[in-house]
Amino acid sequence: MSYQSELYQQVILDHNKNPRNFHEITGFSHSCDGYNPLCGDKIRVHMRINEAGTIEDAAFTGSGCAISKASASMMTVHLKGKTVDAARVIFDEFHKMVMGEMEPQAGLHNLGKLTIFHGVREFPSRIKCATLAWHTLICAIDKTGETTME
């Protein structure tokens, strides 16, 4: 067998080992704690969003599996500099992709490198690992304080 499966691609392993934006943000404007009771994964997302609604900075802390950590890492990289409205659109696309409800066709989505998570759709028990950071992000934007995956 090959461990270079669709799920554990090199990019994901790299972001797991060397997560980007893995810190708190002093003077953050938005924050939320996400929790997956099924596996115990915990994540905190910090953002600085300016008055124009642009995400100037995004970062995360917490513990979790490679999928959840890499997803959080790549999410923060992808969203920096984008608007809150764009983030919501990307969340929706990401969610549909990992749920197997949307095939990301070239040029027809805003996911960029996040399509690396396409393989998650084959692993139903791991979908929540990939989406925990994203649910936490939306929670931070909505300023609801904490979110729990159901």
Partner 1 sequence: MMSPAEIEKIRADFPMLSARINGKPLIYLDNAATTQKPLAVIERIRDFESGQYATVRRGSYRIGEEATEMFEDARGKVAAFIGARDRREIIFTSGATQSINLVAQSFGKKFIGPGDEIIISNMEHHSNIVPWQTLCLEKGCALKVVPITDSGELVMEEFEKLLGPRTKLVAVTHSSNVLGTINPVKEITRKAHAVGAMVLIDGAQGVPHKKMDVMDIDCDFLAFSGHKMYGPSGVGVLYGKYDILDAMPPYVTGGDMINTVTMERTTFAKPPARFEAGTPPISQVIGLGAAVDYLSGAGMEKIFEYETSLLEYGTRALSKIDGLRIIGAAPRKAAIISFWLDAVHPHDVVTLLDQDNIAARGGHHCAQPLMQRFNVPATTRVSLSFYNRPEELDMLAESLRKIIKVFG
Spatial contact of 94 and 56, defined as CB atoms under 8 Å apart: no
Provide the pairing of β-strand 55-63 with 41-49. antiparallel
Residue located via tokens 């929670």: 139
Q: Indicate whether 11 belongs to the interface with partner 1 (CB under 8 A).
A: no
**41/93 with CB nearer partner 1:** 41
Give the residue with the Cβ less far from partner 1, 122 or 146.
122
Residue 26 CA, distance from chain mean position: 21
Alpha-carbon distance 92 to 100, whole Å?
12
Nearest to 84 by CA among 23, 140, 27, 19: 140
Does 22 sit near partner 1 (CB under 8 A)?
A: no
Nearest distance from residue 119's CB to partner 1, in Å? Answer: 11
Q: Which stretch binds partner 1 (CB under 8 A): 40-48, 84-92, 104-112, 138-146?
A: 40-48
Position 129 contacts partner 1 (CB under 8 A): yes
- State yes or no: residue 148 binds partner 1 (CB under 8 A): no
Q: Which stretch binds partner 1 (CB under 8 A): 8-16, 26-34, 86-94, 140-148?
A: 8-16
Least gap, CB of 124 to partner 1 (angstroms): 11
Contacts of 8 (CB under 8 A, 6+ apart): 66
Cα separation, 133 vs 51, in Å, equals 23
Any contact of residue 1 with partner 1 (CB under 8 A)? yes
Interacting residues toward partner 1 by CB under 8 A: 1, 3, 5, 7-8, 13, 16-17, 38-42, 63-67, 123, 125-126, 129
